[in-house]
Amino acid sequence: MKTLAVYPKINLKIESSKGLWLLTESGQRILDLYSGHGVISIGHSHPRFVSRLSEQLQSFAYYSNLVPLKEQDELCQALGELSACPDYNLFFSNSGAEAIENALKAASMISGRKEVVAMRGSFHGRTSLAAQITDASKLCSPINSGLTVHWLTLNDIEAARKVINDQTAAVIIEGIQGVGGIHEGGSEFWQELSKLCHEKGALLIADEIQSGMGRTGDFFAFQNKGVKPDIICTAKGLGNGFPIAATWLHERFSLPMGSLGSTFGGGPLACRAAQAVCEVIASEKLMANAKARGEQLMRGLKDIDGLIDIRGRGLMLAFDLSGPSEEFRMRLLHKHGIITGSASNKTTVRLLPPLSVTKEDCEFFLQKLNLCMLETI
């Protein structure tokens, strides 16, 4: 037996990891500037993360949502304080796609509607509803192709005014598009979406699965837009590698008892993992670090000849090359020891380092990147 071949994989066999560094089976050290699709937020094998999980394992590893779990309550408290968004109620699940599915279901139940407005260039997941609101039709099968989705281009306010109406259940937008290539809606666009949703009785959903948890220098990417989404989705960096996600529903809304459920969502181990993430982000001031290191990287990238359209915010950055990036990224990985990410645009290179990346790590990367670019010429 073997795993189903649905993931395109690179030739990298990891033996262990610590901080920003991966160690391969062959003994090569790799600087991780991708965090496994933006998952590793506080660094690999952080001592606080390890101790929180170890302590919980020695207490009890699991009981279902049949009983109240103090671990959930303590995580809700920690997230409310760290995010400055205490006026939401959380439903825990196991993955970003689940958080999206639950957000759309909640929006439909609250509004009584079933049409969705989504963004061109979006990625929200590969499950049923999530795939249908992702701008990649190849992810859908015949059984999950029935949702009515209206598509908007980021920052097209006039189009938004035409498609958001009294049949719209939800408008969903990423804080910053990840797979789509690090593109962001402006403040005016976000504010117009929020205004239209409130006027028409639709719910505004912020997908912060990749852009949240402090990655941009703010806890949520939308927090510099002057809006308050009705629903927020988080995952990835929330668990630092442990499976956990959350659908944040503003407290002015409620759902019928039993309408959402998850056997494993919000289990004690997952909650302790996420609590450790919150503690480390706060104690090590990682949101401030994300902003500072992001500014350092942006300055350095602009000094390297040949990079095109350098963009992003905090530690969610990207640039383009003049041709496909795959060969370049593989040379950067195997020759220079740095792992980066791709995007739907094949010329794009994405940078999503852990929030704990240091000034020295960034300098090392910029030196190696410049060298790799010189080798390309």
Dihedral of alpha carbons 51, 286, 237, 230, sign? positive
Q: Give yes or no for residue 360 having a pLDDT over 90.
A: yes
What is the reported pLDDT for 126? 96
Percentage of the chain modeled with pLDDT above 70? 100
Render pLDDT for 330-355 as a digit per residue (tens, 0 to 9): 999 999 999 999 999 999 999 999 99
Q: What is the pLDDT of residue 244?
A: 99
Q: Are strands 245-250 and 308-313 parallel, antiparallel or unpaired?
A: unpaired
Q: Are 316 and 210 in contact (CB under 8 A)?
A: yes
Gap between the Cα atoms of 372 and 377, Å rounded? 9
Read off the pTM. 0.97
| Alpha carbons 328 and 345: distance in angstroms, whole number | 14
Contact in structure between 253 and 260 (CB atoms under 8 Å): no
Please answer whether residues 326 and 346 qualify as being in contact, where contact means their C-beta atoms are separated by less than 8 angstroms: yes
Q: Which segments within the chain are labelled E, that is strand?
A: 14-18, 21-24, 29-32, 88-93, 115-119, 148-152, 168-174, 203-207, 231-234, 245-250, 308-313, 316-320, 338-339, 348-351
Predicted confidence (pLDDT) per residue in 187-228, tens digit: 999 999 999 999 999 999 999 999 999 999 999 999 999 999
Q: Taking all residues of the chain, what is their mean pLDDT, rounded to a whole number?
A: 98
Over 80: is that where the pLDDT of 57 sits? yes
Q: In this prediction, what percent of the chain has a pLDDT beyond 90?
A: 98
Model confidence pLDDT, tens digit, residues 230-247: 999 999 999 999 999 999
Closest CA to 176 of 315, 83, 79: 315
Confidence of residue 229 (pLDDT cuts 50, 70, 90): very high
Tokens 């996600």 found at:
245
> Residue 320: how many CB atoms within 10 A of its CB?
18
Burial degree of 208 (CB within 10 A; 0-12, 13-18, 19+)? buried
DSSP string, 47-80: HHHHHHHHHHHHH-----TTS--HHHHHHHHHHH
Domains of the chain: 14-45+285-376 (3.90.1150.10), 47-283 (3.40.640.10)
pLDDT tens for each residue of 304-329: 999 999 999 999 999 999 999 999 99
* Per-residue pLDDT band at 376 (split at 50, 70, 90): confident
How far is Cα of residue 60 from the mean position of the Cα atoms in its chain? 29
pLDDT of 4 > 70? The answer is yes
pLDDT tens, position by position, 79-122: 999 999 999 999 999 999 999 999 999 999 999 999 999 999 99
- With the CA atoms of 90, 59, 94 and 190 taken in that order, what torsion angle do they form, in degrees rounded to the nearest 10? 40
Q: Is the pLDDT of residue 162 over 90?
A: yes
Q: Residue 10 pLDDT more than 80? A: yes
Which whole number is the average pLDDT over 176-182?
A: 98
Task: Note whether 333 and 10 are within 8 A (CB).
Answer: yes
pLDDT at 377 over 90: no
